[in-house]
Amino acid sequence: MARALSKLVRHALRTHGCGCESLTVSVRSISFSPRQVTSDAGFHSVSFSETDHPKVLITGGLGQLGVGLAKMLRRQFGKNNVILSDIRKPPSDVYHNGPFIYSDILDYKNLREIVVNNRITWLVHYSALLSAVGEANVSLARDVNITGLHNILDIAAEHGLRLFVPSTIGAFGPSSPRNPTPDLCIQRPRTIYGVSKVHAELMGEYYHHRYGLDFRCLRYPGIISADSQPGGGTTDYAVQIFHDAVKTGKFECNLRPDTRLPMMYITDCLRATLEMMEAPAEVLSMRTYNINAMSFTPEELAHELQKLLPGLQVTYHIDPVRQAIADSWPMNFDDSNARKDWGWKHDYDLPELVQTMLNFIGSDSRIASAN
Protein backbone atom coordinates (compact mmCIF):
# COMPACT_ATOMS: atom_id res chain seq x y z
CA MET A 1 0.00 0.00 0.00
CA ALA A 2 2.77 2.40 1.03
CA ARG A 3 4.75 1.53 -2.09
CA ALA A 4 1.69 2.06 -4.29
CA LEU A 5 1.15 5.42 -2.64
CA SER A 6 4.70 6.61 -3.14
CA LYS A 7 4.52 5.46 -6.78
CA LEU A 8 1.34 7.48 -7.25
CA VAL A 9 2.92 10.57 -5.70
CA ARG A 10 6.17 10.14 -7.70
CA HIS A 11 4.17 9.82 -10.90
CA ALA A 12 2.08 12.87 -10.08
CA LEU A 13 5.19 14.91 -9.23
CA ARG A 14 6.87 13.89 -12.47
CA THR A 15 3.91 14.76 -14.65
CA HIS A 16 3.39 18.12 -12.92
CA GLY A 17 7.03 18.95 -12.39
CA CYS A 18 6.69 22.54 -13.63
CA GLY A 19 4.32 23.33 -10.76
CA CYS A 20 2.00 25.14 -13.18
CA GLU A 21 -0.77 22.57 -13.11
CA SER A 22 -2.71 21.59 -10.05
CA LEU A 23 -1.34 18.36 -8.56
CA THR A 24 -4.39 17.17 -6.71
CA VAL A 25 -3.55 14.36 -4.32
CA SER A 26 -6.44 14.56 -1.88
CA VAL A 27 -6.08 13.91 1.83
CA ARG A 28 -8.41 10.97 1.43
CA SER A 29 -6.67 9.34 -1.54
CA ILE A 30 -3.27 9.36 0.13
CA SER A 31 -4.88 8.00 3.30
CA PHE A 32 -3.09 10.31 5.71
CA SER A 33 -3.61 13.94 6.47
CA PRO A 34 -1.08 16.59 7.44
CA ARG A 35 -1.46 15.73 11.18
CA GLN A 36 -1.59 11.97 10.58
CA VAL A 37 -5.29 11.99 11.38
CA THR A 38 -6.90 9.02 9.64
CA SER A 39 -8.84 9.68 6.49
CA ASP A 40 -11.99 9.01 8.53
CA ALA A 41 -11.70 12.59 9.77
CA GLY A 42 -12.82 13.71 6.33
CA PHE A 43 -15.83 11.41 6.64
CA HIS A 44 -17.24 13.58 9.43
CA SER A 45 -16.93 16.82 7.53
CA VAL A 46 -19.85 18.24 5.61
CA SER A 47 -19.30 18.76 1.93
CA PHE A 48 -20.62 22.05 0.58
CA SER A 49 -23.26 20.32 -1.53
CA GLU A 50 -24.88 18.79 1.56
CA THR A 51 -26.06 22.15 2.82
CA ASP A 52 -27.99 24.99 1.21
CA HIS A 53 -25.46 27.48 2.48
CA PRO A 54 -21.89 27.25 3.60
CA LYS A 55 -21.35 27.21 7.35
CA VAL A 56 -18.66 29.82 7.90
CA LEU A 57 -16.13 30.34 10.70
CA ILE A 58 -14.21 33.64 10.77
CA THR A 59 -11.06 33.68 12.94
CA GLY A 60 -9.74 36.99 14.28
CA GLY A 61 -13.23 38.27 13.60
CA LEU A 62 -13.19 41.27 15.94
CA GLY A 63 -10.55 43.17 13.96
CA GLN A 64 -11.04 45.85 11.32
CA LEU A 65 -12.51 43.47 8.73
CA GLY A 66 -14.23 40.54 10.46
CA VAL A 67 -17.38 42.17 11.81
CA GLY A 68 -18.20 43.73 8.41
CA LEU A 69 -17.56 40.42 6.66
CA ALA A 70 -19.84 38.58 9.11
CA LYS A 71 -22.59 41.15 8.51
CA MET A 72 -22.36 40.70 4.74
CA LEU A 73 -22.16 36.88 4.86
CA ARG A 74 -25.06 36.68 7.33
CA ARG A 75 -27.23 38.67 4.93
CA GLN A 76 -26.35 36.16 2.23
CA PHE A 77 -26.31 32.85 4.14
CA GLY A 78 -28.38 33.46 7.28
CA LYS A 79 -27.39 34.71 10.72
CA ASN A 80 -26.63 31.35 12.31
CA ASN A 81 -24.51 30.12 9.41
CA VAL A 82 -21.70 32.59 10.12
CA ILE A 83 -19.70 32.30 13.35
CA LEU A 84 -17.33 35.03 14.48
CA SER A 85 -14.43 34.02 16.70
CA ASP A 86 -11.58 35.84 18.43
CA ILE A 87 -9.59 35.87 21.67
CA ARG A 88 -11.02 39.26 22.65
CA LYS A 89 -14.33 39.97 24.36
CA PRO A 90 -16.90 41.08 21.79
CA PRO A 91 -18.71 44.40 22.19
CA SER A 92 -22.36 43.85 23.08
CA ASP A 93 -23.78 44.77 19.65
CA VAL A 94 -21.50 42.20 17.98
CA TYR A 95 -22.32 39.59 20.64
CA HIS A 96 -26.06 40.04 20.11
CA ASN A 97 -25.96 40.11 16.29
CA GLY A 98 -25.04 36.47 15.71
CA PRO A 99 -22.98 33.53 16.96
CA PHE A 100 -19.64 34.33 18.62
CA ILE A 101 -17.14 31.77 19.91
CA TYR A 102 -13.83 32.16 21.78
CA SER A 103 -11.10 30.67 19.65
CA ASP A 104 -7.34 31.00 19.97
CA ILE A 105 -5.84 29.83 16.66
CA LEU A 106 -2.82 28.53 18.57
CA ASP A 107 -5.11 25.97 20.26
CA TYR A 108 -5.41 23.25 17.63
CA LYS A 109 -7.79 20.98 19.54
CA ASN A 110 -10.17 23.80 20.32
CA LEU A 111 -10.20 24.83 16.65
CA ARG A 112 -10.95 21.29 15.57
CA GLU A 113 -13.77 21.02 18.13
CA ILE A 114 -15.37 24.21 16.80
CA VAL A 115 -15.14 23.02 13.19
CA VAL A 116 -16.58 19.58 14.00
CA ASN A 117 -19.32 20.66 16.40
CA ASN A 118 -20.57 23.40 14.10
CA ARG A 119 -20.18 21.45 10.84
CA ILE A 120 -18.08 24.27 9.38
CA THR A 121 -17.56 24.22 5.57
CA TRP A 122 -15.84 27.59 4.93
CA LEU A 123 -13.05 29.01 7.05
CA VAL A 124 -12.06 32.66 6.70
CA HIS A 125 -8.77 33.12 8.51
CA TYR A 126 -8.42 36.75 9.59
CA SER A 127 -6.31 36.36 12.77
CA ALA A 128 -2.95 38.04 12.34
CA LEU A 129 -0.57 40.60 13.77
CA LEU A 130 -0.30 43.39 11.19
CA SER A 131 2.86 45.08 9.88
CA ALA A 132 3.67 47.77 12.46
CA VAL A 133 2.45 45.72 15.45
CA GLY A 134 4.36 42.68 14.16
CA GLU A 135 7.65 44.59 14.00
CA ALA A 136 7.10 45.59 17.64
CA ASN A 137 6.59 41.94 18.69
CA VAL A 138 8.30 39.59 16.29
CA SER A 139 8.03 36.40 18.32
CA LEU A 140 4.29 36.81 18.89
CA ALA A 141 3.83 37.66 15.19
CA ARG A 142 5.73 34.50 14.29
CA ASP A 143 3.50 32.41 16.58
CA VAL A 144 0.19 33.87 15.45
CA ASN A 145 0.97 34.38 11.75
CA ILE A 146 2.98 31.21 11.12
CA THR A 147 2.22 28.58 13.80
CA GLY A 148 -1.44 29.65 13.84
CA LEU A 149 -1.61 29.33 10.07
CA HIS A 150 -0.25 25.77 10.26
CA ASN A 151 -3.11 24.82 12.59
CA ILE A 152 -5.62 26.40 10.22
CA LEU A 153 -4.21 24.62 7.16
CA ASP A 154 -4.28 21.24 8.88
CA ILE A 155 -7.81 21.67 10.19
CA ALA A 156 -9.01 22.83 6.77
CA ALA A 157 -7.31 19.95 4.93
CA GLU A 158 -8.55 17.34 7.38
CA HIS A 159 -12.16 18.49 7.28
CA GLY A 160 -12.45 19.31 3.58
CA LEU A 161 -13.02 23.04 4.18
CA ARG A 162 -12.81 25.85 1.66
CA LEU A 163 -10.16 28.11 3.20
CA PHE A 164 -9.69 31.84 2.64
CA VAL A 165 -6.49 33.47 3.91
CA PRO A 166 -5.88 37.13 3.05
CA SER A 167 -2.42 38.21 2.01
CA THR A 168 -1.28 41.79 1.53
CA ILE A 169 0.73 44.32 -0.44
CA GLY A 170 3.20 43.71 2.43
CA ALA A 171 4.04 40.32 0.90
CA PHE A 172 6.28 42.23 -1.52
CA GLY A 173 9.56 43.94 -0.73
CA PRO A 174 12.13 46.43 -2.02
CA SER A 175 13.33 44.10 -4.79
CA SER A 176 9.80 43.56 -6.17
CA PRO A 177 8.68 45.73 -9.10
CA ARG A 178 6.70 48.49 -7.34
CA ASN A 179 4.83 50.32 -10.06
CA PRO A 180 2.94 48.22 -10.91
CA THR A 181 3.44 45.00 -8.91
CA PRO A 182 2.23 41.90 -10.79
CA ASP A 183 0.91 38.69 -9.19
CA LEU A 184 4.06 36.73 -9.92
CA CYS A 185 7.38 38.42 -9.23
CA ILE A 186 10.19 38.51 -6.68
CA GLN A 187 8.83 38.49 -3.11
CA ARG A 188 11.47 39.35 -0.53
CA PRO A 189 9.58 41.33 2.16
CA ARG A 190 11.55 42.84 5.05
CA THR A 191 8.89 42.57 7.79
CA ILE A 192 7.85 39.53 9.81
CA TYR A 193 4.30 40.30 8.64
CA GLY A 194 5.33 40.13 4.99
CA VAL A 195 7.46 37.03 5.49
CA SER A 196 4.58 35.27 7.26
CA LYS A 197 2.17 36.20 4.45
CA VAL A 198 4.48 34.87 1.72
CA HIS A 199 4.73 31.73 3.84
CA ALA A 200 0.91 31.56 4.00
CA GLU A 201 0.59 31.97 0.22
CA LEU A 202 3.14 29.23 -0.45
CA MET A 203 1.87 26.82 2.21
CA GLY A 204 -1.74 27.27 1.07
CA GLU A 205 -0.79 26.59 -2.53
CA TYR A 206 1.32 23.63 -1.45
CA TYR A 207 -1.62 22.12 0.49
CA HIS A 208 -3.81 22.73 -2.54
CA HIS A 209 -1.46 20.79 -4.81
CA ARG A 210 -0.50 18.17 -2.24
CA TYR A 211 -3.78 17.49 -0.43
CA GLY A 212 -6.41 19.03 -2.69
CA LEU A 213 -7.17 21.79 -0.14
CA ASP A 214 -9.52 24.39 -1.61
CA PHE A 215 -7.23 27.29 -0.66
CA ARG A 216 -8.13 30.80 -1.83
CA CYS A 217 -6.11 33.93 -1.18
CA LEU A 218 -6.40 37.60 -2.10
CA ARG A 219 -3.65 40.13 -1.55
CA TYR A 220 -5.54 43.05 -0.06
CA PRO A 221 -4.26 46.61 -0.40
CA GLY A 222 -4.63 48.98 2.60
CA ILE A 223 -8.29 48.79 3.66
CA ILE A 224 -10.22 51.91 4.63
CA SER A 225 -13.31 51.65 6.85
CA ALA A 226 -15.39 54.10 8.88
CA ASP A 227 -16.99 51.94 11.56
CA SER A 228 -14.05 49.72 12.53
CA GLN A 229 -10.59 50.67 13.73
CA PRO A 230 -7.44 49.58 11.90
CA GLY A 231 -5.27 47.02 13.69
CA GLY A 232 -1.75 48.50 13.50
CA GLY A 233 -0.80 48.45 9.84
CA THR A 234 1.25 50.87 7.76
CA THR A 235 -1.79 52.19 5.89
CA ASP A 236 -3.69 53.12 9.10
CA TYR A 237 -3.13 56.84 8.46
CA ALA A 238 -5.70 56.69 5.64
CA VAL A 239 -8.41 55.78 8.17
CA GLN A 240 -7.24 58.04 11.02
CA ILE A 241 -7.19 61.14 8.82
CA PHE A 242 -11.00 60.99 8.43
CA HIS A 243 -11.66 60.73 12.17
CA ASP A 244 -9.22 63.52 13.06
CA ALA A 245 -10.43 65.73 10.21
CA VAL A 246 -14.02 65.51 11.44
CA LYS A 247 -13.23 65.74 15.17
CA THR A 248 -10.46 68.34 15.26
CA GLY A 249 -9.95 69.72 11.75
CA LYS A 250 -6.26 68.72 12.05
CA PHE A 251 -4.26 65.64 11.18
CA GLU A 252 -0.63 64.68 11.82
CA CYS A 253 0.46 62.09 9.24
CA ASN A 254 3.17 59.53 10.08
CA LEU A 255 4.12 58.94 6.42
CA ARG A 256 5.79 61.34 3.95
CA PRO A 257 3.33 63.33 1.79
CA ASP A 258 4.48 61.57 -1.41
CA THR A 259 4.17 57.96 -0.15
CA ARG A 260 2.04 56.22 -2.75
CA LEU A 261 0.27 53.00 -1.68
CA PRO A 262 -2.58 50.88 -3.08
CA MET A 263 -5.85 51.26 -1.12
CA MET A 264 -9.45 49.98 -1.15
CA TYR A 265 -12.74 50.84 0.55
CA ILE A 266 -13.92 48.05 2.87
CA THR A 267 -17.15 47.36 0.94
CA ASP A 268 -15.11 46.50 -2.16
CA CYS A 269 -12.72 44.34 -0.10
CA LEU A 270 -15.49 42.29 1.52
CA ARG A 271 -17.35 41.84 -1.76
CA ALA A 272 -14.11 40.68 -3.43
CA THR A 273 -13.68 38.13 -0.64
CA LEU A 274 -17.15 36.69 -1.15
CA GLU A 275 -16.74 36.67 -4.94
CA MET A 276 -13.41 34.85 -4.65
CA MET A 277 -14.96 32.30 -2.25
CA GLU A 278 -17.89 31.70 -4.61
CA ALA A 279 -15.86 31.56 -7.82
CA PRO A 280 -16.05 28.15 -9.54
CA ALA A 281 -12.71 26.36 -9.12
CA GLU A 282 -12.31 26.00 -12.88
CA VAL A 283 -12.07 29.78 -13.45
CA LEU A 284 -9.22 30.16 -10.93
CA SER A 285 -5.98 29.97 -12.89
CA MET A 286 -4.15 30.80 -9.65
CA ARG A 287 -4.91 30.47 -5.93
CA THR A 288 -3.43 33.84 -4.88
CA TYR A 289 -4.51 37.05 -6.62
CA ASN A 290 -3.73 40.75 -6.26
CA ILE A 291 -6.83 42.94 -5.99
CA ASN A 292 -6.80 46.70 -6.23
CA ALA A 293 -9.05 49.73 -6.40
CA MET A 294 -7.00 52.96 -6.22
CA SER A 295 -3.56 54.25 -5.33
CA PHE A 296 -2.85 57.58 -3.63
CA THR A 297 -0.41 59.54 -1.46
CA PRO A 298 -1.22 61.27 1.88
CA GLU A 299 -0.99 64.58 0.03
CA GLU A 300 -3.53 63.50 -2.60
CA LEU A 301 -5.89 62.12 0.06
CA ALA A 302 -5.63 65.35 2.08
CA HIS A 303 -6.30 67.39 -1.06
CA GLU A 304 -9.46 65.38 -1.81
CA LEU A 305 -10.64 65.80 1.79
CA GLN A 306 -9.97 69.53 1.70
CA LYS A 307 -12.43 69.86 -1.19
CA LEU A 308 -15.16 68.99 1.33
CA LEU A 309 -13.46 70.22 4.53
CA PRO A 310 -11.47 73.27 3.35
CA GLY A 311 -10.27 74.09 6.89
CA LEU A 312 -8.44 70.78 7.32
CA GLN A 313 -4.76 71.25 8.30
CA VAL A 314 -2.35 68.39 7.66
CA THR A 315 1.16 68.24 9.12
CA TYR A 316 3.78 65.51 8.80
CA HIS A 317 5.73 63.79 11.59
CA ILE A 318 7.38 60.76 10.01
CA ASP A 319 7.49 57.42 11.85
CA PRO A 320 10.73 55.87 10.53
CA VAL A 321 9.53 52.28 11.03
CA ARG A 322 6.28 52.76 9.11
CA GLN A 323 7.99 54.90 6.45
CA ALA A 324 10.64 52.24 5.81
CA ILE A 325 7.90 49.62 5.47
CA ALA A 326 5.84 51.79 3.09
CA ASP A 327 8.92 52.56 0.97
CA SER A 328 9.40 48.84 0.36
CA TRP A 329 5.78 48.16 -0.63
CA PRO A 330 4.03 48.35 -4.03
CA MET A 331 2.93 51.79 -5.22
CA ASN A 332 0.42 50.32 -7.68
CA PHE A 333 -1.01 46.85 -7.76
CA ASP A 334 -1.61 44.97 -11.02
CA ASP A 335 -4.83 43.00 -10.49
CA SER A 336 -5.51 42.18 -14.15
CA ASN A 337 -5.61 38.41 -13.48
CA ALA A 338 -8.40 38.79 -10.90
CA ARG A 339 -10.33 40.98 -13.36
CA LYS A 340 -9.83 38.47 -16.17
CA ASP A 341 -10.39 35.18 -14.29
CA TRP A 342 -13.32 35.87 -11.97
CA GLY A 343 -14.52 39.31 -13.02
CA TRP A 344 -13.14 41.45 -10.18
CA LYS A 345 -14.22 45.09 -10.50
CA HIS A 346 -13.99 47.78 -7.80
CA ASP A 347 -16.76 50.32 -7.19
CA TYR A 348 -14.99 52.98 -5.11
CA ASP A 349 -12.38 55.40 -6.44
CA LEU A 350 -10.85 58.20 -4.35
CA PRO A 351 -13.70 60.79 -4.62
CA GLU A 352 -16.41 58.21 -3.73
CA LEU A 353 -14.24 56.88 -0.91
CA VAL A 354 -13.83 60.33 0.65
CA GLN A 355 -17.51 61.20 0.30
CA THR A 356 -18.63 57.87 1.77
CA MET A 357 -16.19 58.02 4.70
CA LEU A 358 -17.23 61.55 5.62
CA ASN A 359 -20.92 60.67 5.38
CA PHE A 360 -20.34 57.71 7.69
CA ILE A 361 -18.32 59.61 10.23
CA GLY A 362 -21.17 62.06 10.49
CA SER A 363 -19.64 65.13 8.95
CA ASP A 364 -22.69 66.13 6.97
CA SER A 365 -23.15 69.23 9.09
CA ARG A 366 -19.52 70.33 8.62
CA ILE A 367 -19.77 69.85 4.87
CA ALA A 368 -22.96 71.91 4.84
CA SER A 369 -21.37 74.72 6.85
CA ALA A 370 -18.23 74.62 4.69
CA ASN A 371 -20.37 75.10 1.60
* Residues identified as active-site: 193
Q: Which of 168, 187, 254, 337 binds ligand NAD (CB under 6 A)?
A: 168
62 lies in the binding site for ligand NAD (CB under 6 A): yes
- Cβ distance to ligand NAD smaller for residue 64 or 366: 64
95-124 positions binding ligand NAD, by CB under 6 A: 103-106
The number of residues that bind ligand NAD (CB under 6 A) is 29
Q: Which of 77, 100, 122, 126 binds ligand NAD (CB under 6 A)?
A: 126
154 lies in the binding site for ligand NAD (CB under 6 A): no
The CB-of-88 to ligand NAD minimum distance in angstroms stands at 5
223 lies in the binding site for ligand NAD (CB under 6 A): yes
Cis-peptide, bond into residue 330, ω within 30° of zero: no
Angle (CA) 189-143-126 rounded to 5° is: 75
DSSP-derived secondary structure letter, 311:
T
DSSP-derived secondary structure letter, 32:
B
DSSP-derived secondary structure letter, 149:
H
DSSP H helical ranges for the chain? 2-15, 40-44, 66-77, 92-96, 108-117, 131-136, 138-142, 148-158, 192-211, 237-247, 266-278, 298-308, 320-327, 336-342, 350-360, 364-370
The CB-of-248 to ligand NAD minimum distance in angstroms stands at 23
Please identify, among the stretches 12-20, 63-71, 296-304, 316-324, the one whose residues bind ligand NAD according to the rule CB under 6 A. 63-71
Please identify, among the stretches 2-10, 61-69, 282-290, 304-312, the one whose residues bind ligand NAD according to the rule CB under 6 A. 61-69
CA dihedral 156, 149, 37, 5 (to 10 degrees): 80
331 lies in the binding site for ligand NAD (CB under 6 A): no
89 lies in the binding site for ligand NAD (CB under 6 A): no
The CB-of-159 to ligand NAD minimum distance in angstroms stands at 18
59 lies in the binding site for ligand NAD (CB under 6 A): yes
Length of the chain: 371
The CB-of-43 to ligand NAD minimum distance in angstroms stands at 28
Q: Which of 33, 81, 121, 127 binds ligand NAD (CB under 6 A)?
A: 127
Measured CA distances, 68 to 11, 64, 114, 146, 243 (Å): 45, 8, 21, 25, 19
The CB-of-143 to ligand NAD minimum distance in angstroms stands at 7
Alpha carbon distance 5, 210 (integer Å): 13
Helix, strand, coil share (%) of the chain residues, nearest 5: 45, 15, 40
